[in-house]
Amino acid sequence: MSEDGKERAVELRYEGGAHALPLLTGTEGDKAFEAKTLLSHAGMVTLDPGFANTAACQSKITYIDGEAGILRYRGYPIQDLAAGSSFLEVAYLLIHGELPGPGELKDFSEQLRANAALPVEMRAMIDALPRDGHPMVLLGAAVNTMAAFYADTVDPGDSDQVDRATLLLLAQLPTIAARIYRNSVGEQPLEPDHSLGYVEDFLRMTFGGDSGSKELDELYAKAMDLLLILHADHEQNCSTATVRVVGSSQASLYGSVSAGINALFGPLHGGANQAVLEMLEEIRGLGGDVDSFLAKVKDKESGTRLMGFGHRVYKNFDPRSKEIKGLAAQILDRQEQPDELFELALRLEGQALADSYFTDRKLYPNVDFYSGVIYRAMGFPTTMFTVLFAIGRLPGWIAHWREQRLDPAARIARPRQLYVGPAKRSYNG
């Protein structure tokens, strides 16, 4: 043990010296050696593309054990939250650290509903954006402009402003998303109805009425709520890391979340749910020939991946995919005709899991493999899928941004590099 009270259990030996590094242990026994002094003491940095071995912070929000397929928000297993909580309770839990009591939940919900309407100028701004633009592009743009529409809530150093920005983002993201959708299909946008719940009103603002039966509407709202819970946080994924990196410069919460939306849009991240549906359509177009599609995936030259499969962290199974697969079966069961794409997805999963290419590389269905078939059954076009992911992920982004803001160890994110370009050369020849 050294003067700073940290156990120095890792020793780095290198030509010309040695340096002892503190070893830190997380709640669940995970180990990390602290490399903060590496450059100043040993004169070297770590090289870790994709940060796969690098912890950028200590966090109290979400725990994942990828080998065991465990996901917990603030200590609670995802399965328990999925079975017993609403999305708003989970959002509150992620952001404030504890589940709300009945009074707190009522207040939280009322405040969100009361702030759901967009300023008139913001509506006009969204309506002026290209209506055939991808909804994720428009969503990122609209959220970024909230820093201008609510300029008195952008100071990360002011807790009241941060609380107000938190509320406005949570309250208005569904309203913005529904407006973008209505514009894209040439229908008049609908204003929020404060008497409805968060998810129910989002579905109403999007589809503008009921789906034909109260029972079906309730099932869709329940399914949407569950999907939002399952997407609500996933520790240091690409978009959350982006939110933290942008926030580390003391950019506003709006600017940081807008950056997160753009990171989420990438096909290797949140864009995968859209890509899965496109892949299933493609296979259907090939007459449902799963074998030749999988052969193409296994041929590295083809550059084709089995979308919705594989995960940086889960190397056994993704606990969210199990919940979603069950939900998909429940929803699609209600349809008069069997859902061709769902059946195709089941076949694809079955064949992939019986194939050593996938099992050897520990590639299993992830959260996106079945979510798209549910969204499609509800009536969402594929371009809206990642927008739904963003609505779900928003509380996680906010929780991480707020945690970093109060973390005394947080510094501006500024990675190092190993320069391998040309050595100094003469400009004048």
Binding region for ligand ACO (CB under 6 A): 268-270, 272, 297, 305-312, 361, 363, 366-368
> Is residue 163 a contact partner of residue 135, using CB atoms and an 8 Å limit?
no
Residue 281 CB, shortest distance to ligand ACO, in Å, is 16
Pick the closer one to ligand ACO by CB: 192 or 396: 396
For residues 260 and 310, which CB has a smaller minimum distance to ligand ACO in the complex?
310
Helices and strands in the chain, H and E counts: 17, 7
Q: Is 155 a catalytic residue?
A: no
Whole-number minimum distance, CB 282 to ligand ACO, in Å?
Answer: 14
Q: Is 311 a catalytic residue?
A: yes
Give whichever of 162 and 229 is closer to ligand ACO, judged by the CB atom: 229
d(CA 368, CA 105): 29
DSSP string covering 11-76 = EEEETTEEEEE-EEE-TTS-EEE--TTIIIIIS-----GGGTT------SSEEEETTTTEEEETTE
224-239 CB burial, b ≥16 within 10 A, e <16:
bbbbbbbbbbbbbbbb
| Rounded least distance, CB 270 to ligand ACO, Å | 6
Minimal distance, residue 159 CB to ligand ACO, in Å? 31
Q: Which is nearer to ligand ACO, 162 or 367 (CB)?
A: 367
Q: How many whole angstroms separate alpha carbon 282 and alpha carbon 280? A: 5
Active-site choice (234, 311, 318, 339)? 311
How is residue 293 written in tokens? 């599609």
Work out how close the CB of 234 gets to ligand ACO at its nearest, in angstroms, rounded to a whole number.
7
Of residues 162 and 275, the one with the C-beta less far from ligand ACO: 275
Are the beta carbons of 424 and 270 closer than 8 angstroms? no
Q: Which is nearer to ligand ACO, 294 or 398 (CB)?
A: 294
241: its two tokens: 């890391």
Using CB positions, name the residue nearest to ligand ACO. Answer: 310
User: Which one from 201, 233, 368, 400 is the annotated catalytic residue?
Assistant: 368
**Which residues share a beta bridge with 23?**
33
Q: Which is nearer to ligand ACO, 166 or 321 (CB)?
A: 321
Q: 312 vs 405, which CB is nearer to ligand ACO? A: 312
Beta bridge mates, 21 = 10
DSSP 297-342: HH-GGG----TTB--SS-SS--HHHHHHHHHHHHHHTTSSS--HHH
Q: How far is the CB of 60 from ligand ACO (least distance, A)?
A: 22
Shortest distance, position 29 Cβ to ligand ACO, whole Å: 23
Is residue 312 within 8 A of residue 318, CB to CB? The reply is: no
Residue 10 three-state SS: strand
Terminal-to-terminal C-alpha distance of the chain: 57
* Cα Dmax for the chain: 78
Q: Work out whether strand 62-65 and strand 31-33 pair parallel, antiparallel, or are unpaired.
A: unpaired
3-state secondary structure of 77: strand
Identify the residue whose tokens are 């909580």: 85
Q: Minimum CB separation from ligand ACO for residue 231, in Å?
A: 8
Question: Which residues carry out catalysis?
Answer: 311, 368
